[in-house]
Structure 1
Amino acid sequence: MKNIVTFFLVITFQFGFATEIDSLDLNPFLKLPQFSNSLLEDCDACGCSASGGSMGFASMLNTNFIGIRYFNQSYKSTDGLYSNSPWYNENFNTLQLWARIPVVKRVQISALIPYHFHNRETNSGTQNISGLGDITVLGMYQLYQTHKDSTLFIHSLQAGAGLKIPVGKFDATNNGSVNPSYQVGTGSWDYLLAAEYVIRRQKLGLNTLLNYVIKTENDKYYQFGNQFNYAGTFFYLLKRDAYSIVPQLGFAGELYESNYQLGQKVRNTSGDIFLGKIGFEVGKDKLSLGANVMLPIAQNLTGGNVEANYRWSLNFNYSL
């Protein structure tokens, strides 16, 4: 995994510091670099309190917007007690109100308000849970951006911090299950640190992201492990009459530290996953529609007792 991150960083900075003059004819939606649909999942390994499901905090097309998004995450799990222990399907569904709004010059605020409805198979039948999830607020400050007429490459660097508010219900009875992330909320106040670097040359661009989530103990004395995320997304701007289309191709990775209960480490709760992703966004006037699919390339979740199948999302936004 370290080799993958190193390769990603080397490619990013080699591409970033070339010296030609930019001729990009920007779409009105693309006046500022955006978060790709790729990162900042504050879900704990699967669907509990998922705000982004590694699908991102903002749109490639909309600089500032309000919208609605649906995303689905499919997993399977087993208790692993025997070599022939059965595997059960788990589905994490989220309907989310999301927005990105300018506050002052160089500062933007993103907000996510999710509603979760999850289901999973058990040896006694299907289990369903639903409810309002944890609300996430993230502020980003633009540290640097090149001028369009001064270089062939446009660079942008942003950094920021955020907060996850424990609105969603945390059910302590799920702690002992194979997948303790089967929740609609963590019950804890969590803190986010994020950085984004974007480079564009003409119609081709690369969006790279790093994110770290610091998680705290909830009032049930349970603490989900801290989480590190990284991602890279190549995108290309196509114009067809009044429409703008942005196909996207990239990857995302997530690393989870161990959970703690009553101050003691919970075994088989750490892990990592590396995913490939493909998607697109299409926009006309102030409206845009986006779709995204992510498939696992390599993974090791909860000691191999949980496996990700796929993730996908749809979103519909109105530009402010």
Structure 2
Amino acid sequence: MKIYSIVLILFLGTLSLKGNEIPTNPCSKLNSKGFLLYDFCDTCGCSGNGGSMGFGTGLNNNFFGLRYIGQRYQSRDGIFANSPWIDENFNTVQLWAQVPIGQRFMVNAVLPYQFHTRTFADGIEQNINGLGDATVLGFYQVLQQTPDSIVSIKPEHTLQLGGGIKMPTGKFDSENLEGSVNPSFQLGTGSWDYLLAANYGLKHRNWGLSFMVNYTFKSENDKEYRFGNQLNYTLNTFKTYYFGTDFALTPQIGVGGEHFEKNKEFGLEVNDTGGYVFFGKAGVELNYKTLALGVSSMLPLAQDLNNGKVEAKNRWAIYVNINI
């Protein structure tokens, strides 16, 4: 009930915003570039750390771009309740793209480069960097409504179903499992993982709401370690403000969560793994012709990760896309 109340408060808060309505004669360039055709994909692109800020912007049908994601955690340096905390910073730079194939199909792809650091209680710092796990997903547009006019008086619904794979292009180092209780301090899972995803969107004039859910089936890597399967979900609301024919500003607000099953090593469950985290999300995207600049932030509202021995502090992202 608490989660539903938070979602309702966030949604009503977004509806209370006041701003420009959609112009009577919007720029034809924006319309032809798919600015008004919403994609609601938000599937995990980070590897080995459970961090997810999503694939698509929620505003454009096709693009390619560059995104930075920063995540901050604290984890216990040892297995005891009074073990000191480790500060961990996970940093990811992603090449990402979303390309439609025909009228109903689209492909999403992410190639991450990771550079992570953690600082122990004695001041010693550990750094790892390198290519992360690449992810490719395909989606089929089950329900698609694209009105002839931007001022359509009827709400539009969009539904996409799809799936894909995460490839073990990032290094998994079993030595990083020793000492800290956070096994996710890795560049990759070292395993072939498989995803199922669904995206639903509701749009009316310049208002929008999107809901995403995806599930990742994780397999055992060659070190006989398997990260737990993962459920991601997110709910976003947004409104677009138009300034002339070339500029548009879209603030977004929402919630999202992640649930992790326990990891396994040599077929046995690993203690102090698994759990959940529930985030509040806010962001904004600025569009100028074919260029999109966005920034977003996530703060935990509730969590229980690794039996309380790992704490998510915050996440944020900034991206630049070219709409194609």
| TM range, smaller chain | 0.7 to 0.9
How far apart, in 1, do the equivalents of 2:116 and 2:80 lie? 27
Correspondence for 1:281:
285
CA positional deviation for 1:151: 5.8
| Cα distance in structure 2, aligned partners of 1:123 and 1:278 | 32
Judge conservation of contact 2:70–2:316 (CA < 8 Å) in 1: yes
* Residues 237-267 of structure 1: CA deviation (Å, up to 9, x unaligned): 1001220111000000100000000111111
- 1:196 partner letter: N
Contact preservation (8 Å) 1:269, 1:302: yes
Report the alpha carbon displacement of residue 88 of structure 1 after superposing the two structures with TM: 1.5
Unaligned runs of 5+ in 2: 12-21
Verify: 1:222 aligned to 2:238, yes or no: no
User: What is aligned with 2:100?
Assistant: 102
Deviates more, 1:175-184 or 1:213-222: 175-184
Q: Bigger CA drift: 27-36 or 217-226?
A: 27-36
The answer as to 2:39 corresponding to 1:34 is yes
- Given the alignment of the two structures, is residue 237 of structure 1 paired with residue 240 of structure 2, yes or no? yes
Structure 1 portions without partners, runs of 5+: 13-22
Partner amino acid, structure 2, of 1:187: G
Confirm or deny that 1:247 pairs with 2:248: no
Counterpart among 208, 211, 218 of residue 208 in structure 1? 211
Q: Report the Cα distance in structure 1 between the residues aligned to 2:77 and 2:279, rounded to whole angstroms.
A: 24
CA contact 1:68–1:317 (8 Å) conserved in 2: yes
Partner of 2:114 in structure 1? 116
Q: TM-score, normalised by structure 2?
A: 0.86
Task: Say whether residues 1:293 and 2:291 are aligned partners.
Answer: no
Report the CA distance between 1:79 and its aligned residue.
Answer: 4.0
- Does residue 1:308 correspond to 2:307, yes or no? no
Match of 2:14 in 1: none
1:153 — aligned with what?
Answer: 155
Pairing 1:48–2:51 present: no
Structure 2 CA distance for aligned equivalents of residues 109 and 68 of structure 1: 17
Match of 1:34, as an amino acid? D
Matched, 1:180 2:183: yes
Question: What one-letter code is carried by the residue in structure 1 that aligns with 2:116?
Answer: H
Quote the residue 1:261 is aligned against.
265
Letter in 1 for 2:303: Q
Cα separation, 1, equivalents of 2:197 and 2:7 = 17
* Residue 137 (structure 1) aligns with: 136
Alignment partner, residue 88 of structure 1: 86
* 1:35 positional shift: 2.5
Residue 65 of structure 2 corresponds to 67
Sequence identity (%): 46
Amino acid at match of 1:48: G
How far apart are 1:63 and its partner, in Å?
1.7
Write the distance in 1 (CA, Å) between the matches of 2:40 and 2:186.
26
Distance of aligned partners of 1:105 and 1:147 in 2 relative to their CA distance in 1, 3 Å threshold:
closer
> How far 1:8 moved relative to its partner?
6.5
Tell me which residue corresponds to 2:202: 199
Opposite residue 134 of structure 1, the aligned amino acid is D
TM-score (structure 1 length as normaliser): 0.87
* Secondary structure, counterpart of 1:174 in structure 2: helix
Write the deviation string for residues 126-160 of structure 1: whole angstroms up to 9, x where unpaired: 00000001110011110012353686110010000
1:30 counterpart SS class: coil
C-alpha change, 1:254 and 1:34, in structure 2 (3 Å) is same
What letter corresponds to residue 265 of structure 1 in structure 2? E
2:68 alignment partner AA: Y
Q: CA offsets per residue over residues 24-71 of structure 1, 9 Å max, x none? A: 9775243322236xx42254xxx6266xx3211112333211100001
Contact 1:296 1:310 in 2 (8 A): yes
CA separation of 1:282 and 1:42: change in aligned 2, threshold 3 A: closer
- Which residue in the other structure is 1:271 paired with? 275
Contact 1:35–1:56 at 8 Å: present in 2 too? Answer: no
Q: Is the alpha carbon distance of 1:288 and 1:183 closer, same or farther for their aligned partners in structure 2, counting shifts above 3 Å?
A: same
Q: 1:162 aligns with which of 137, 161, 164?
A: 164
The 1:146/1:64 distance shift into structure 2, 3 A limit, reads: closer
Read off the aligned partner of 2:208 and give its amino acid letter: G
Q: CA deviation at 1:80?
A: 6.1
Structure 1 residue 5: Cα displacement: 7.0
2:196 & 2:118 partners in 1: Cα distance?
32
Q: Match of 1:20?
A: none
Which 10-residue stretch deviates more, 290-299 or 143-152?
Answer: 143-152
